[in-house]
Amino acid sequence: MSTDNHKKNARERRFATKLIHFGAEIDEQTGASSVPIFQASTFHHHDIFNPPQYDYSRSGNPTRQALEDYIALLEGGARGFAFASGMAAISTTFLLLSAGEHVIVTEDVYGGTYRLLTSILDRLGIESTFVDMTDFEAVKAALKSNTKAVFMETPSNPTLKITNIAQTTAWAKEHGLLTMLDNTFMTPYHQRPIELGVDIVLHSATKFLGGHSDVLAGLAVTADEALGKRLKQLQNGMGTVLSAQESWLLMRGMKTLQMRMESSERSARRLAEWLSEHSEVTAVYYPGLPNHPGREIHEKQSLGYGAVVSFDVGSGERAKALLSKVQIPLVAVSLGAVESILSYPAMMSHAAMPKEVRHARGITDGLVRYSVGLEDIEDLIEDLDNALRP
Ligand SMILES: *Cc1c(COP(=O)(O)O)cnc(C)c1O
């Protein structure tokens, strides 16, 4: 079977099969069962009049290319790009905008994206407005004459608010706006934004895609070839690329994405239900709970609820007591790994946000975020139950 046929067929298969048979799973030259790590910065020109396909690893590396084709296949897009981190992917993509242009952004966007927009891109003349995207009227009201793009993150972090993706992209298209979406929490297993009209999907692959808390990486996928060309120029021009070693490690992790997501999500659903009944817990945020305000929209645009559950224990003292008493999860920044990770937004991811703004967004001093790993859920619950005891 020729490679072209092989790739075409891969696009028609189901997700779990795509994860394993993504086109580069067998090395064409040797038959090796994994993509070789091309640990080379440059490539010999055998024929000076006929430049090789790869000539310098910033511009292109076969190992990185395999990863880039892999994520494009999973997201159903035209071209994929791999970056040194999630923020490298997001910052490079924002440079599609120019000075004097304006972008509408999800209010409770990832802290690093907020910092990029409010302390770096603003200096370069790229303006942003943050809106509560659960309110479509607020999104529309943020449109200005110089608006060029909309940046979504859904579910958002840490209170898991839901943006209606198809409604937003349809409106954005009417106004000629570029749409970008940070799909880190859902991954292409649960949510494929390009199918809902998004132009560029972004990932911190450091989280669920890598899945093992051992690789820092970012990915982007463009819906079409023309945008892909523009992003390629930026990736090469900015030099924000992922190394061959890290590309290989990331692909290794991605192969088990579906199995990991299924298991972690099953546990997260059970954990969210258990927390909802707990007398020491004042609020639980999880899109799979019947009382979650965005549940209906989320179910229309996603195939699952994910593995992140946030909950409020009522006060900063109680949150700190919980964090010091839990035995199983890693108490850390980050999420989406084989091990459970418990974070404390008020002192970690959202520490830089003014207290009033933080509280207004539901990020109280009692709020903690639980990213459910692959441990036995009964052990996780017993551990939390002990740690929650007054
Ligand atoms: C972690 C994260 C990022 C940033 O990714 P890095 O790999 O840490 O640079 C961006 N968006 C979301 C939603 C994240 O969780």
- Please provide the CATH number assigned to the domain covering 257-388: 3.90.1150.10
Out of 25-34, 48-57, 339-348, 351-360, least confident range? 351-360
Q: Which contiguous run of DSSP H or E holds residue 45?
A: none
Side chain identity, residue 341: I
How much distance in Å is there from the Cα of 110 to the middle of ligand 1? 7
pLDDT of amino acid 2: 44
Ligand 1, atom 6: closest residue by C-alpha: 86
pLDDT in tens, 258-290: 999 999 999 999 999 999 999 999 999 999 999
| Rounded Cα gap, residues 176 and 334, in angstroms | 35
| Rounded Cα gap, residues 128 and 117, in angstroms | 7
Tell me which of 206, 308, 350, 369 to substitute to probe ligand 1's pocket, judged by most ligand atoms within 8 Å of the beta carbon. Answer: 206
Return the structure tokens found at 91: 């910052």
Active site residues: 58, 110, 182, 207
Average pLDDT, the chain: 95
Out of 24-33, 144-153, 329-338, least confident range? 24-33
3-254: CATH topology is Aspartate Aminotransferase; domain 2 (3.40.640)
Q: Are 86 and 92 contacting, i.e. CB atoms less than 8 angstroms apart?
A: no
Whether 91 lines ligand 1, by a CB cut-off of 6 Å, is no
Q: Which contiguous run of DSSP H or E holds residue 21?
A: none
| Rounded Cα gap, residues 196 and 213, in angstroms | 30
Buried b (16+ CB within 10 A) or exposed e, 114-150: bebbeeebeeeebbbbbbbbbeeeebeebbeeebbbb
Which pTM was predicted? 0.96
Q: Which ligand 1 atom is at minimum distance from the Cα of 87? A: 9
Ordered DSSP codes for 186-215 = THHHH--GGGGT-SEEEEETTTTTT-SS--
- Pairing type for strands 178-182 and 200-204 reads parallel
Whether 35 lines ligand 1, by a CB cut-off of 6 Å, is no
Whether 216 lines ligand 1, by a CB cut-off of 6 Å, is yes
104 pLDDT band, cuts 50/70/90, is very high
Whether 369 lines ligand 1, by a CB cut-off of 6 Å, is no
SS3 219: strand
Contacts of 322 (CB under 8 A, 6+ apart): 313, 368, 384, 387, 388
Residue ranges per structural domain of the chain: 3-254, 257-388
Ordered DSSP codes for 94-112 = HTTS-TT-EEEEETT--HH
Q: Which ligand 1 atom is at minimum distance from the Cα of 90? A: 10
pLDDT in tens, 162-199: 999 999 999 999 999 999 999 999 999 999 999 999 99
Tell me which of 186, 204, 215, 349 to substitute to probe ligand 1's pocket, judged by most ligand atoms within 8 Å of the beta carbon. Answer: 204
Side chain identity, residue 165: I
Tell me which of 109, 110, 208, 246 to substitute to probe ligand 1's pocket, judged by most ligand atoms within 8 Å of the beta carbon. Answer: 110
Ligand 1, atom 1: closest residue by C-alpha: 204
| pLDDT reading at 257 higher than 70 | yes
SS3 312: strand
Whether 110 lines ligand 1, by a CB cut-off of 6 Å, is yes
- Pairing type for strands 102-106 and 127-131 reads parallel
| Rounded Cα gap, residues 143 and 6, in angstroms | 44
Report the first-to-last Cα separation within the chain, whole angstroms.
64
| Rounded Cα gap, residues 40 and 64, in angstroms | 12
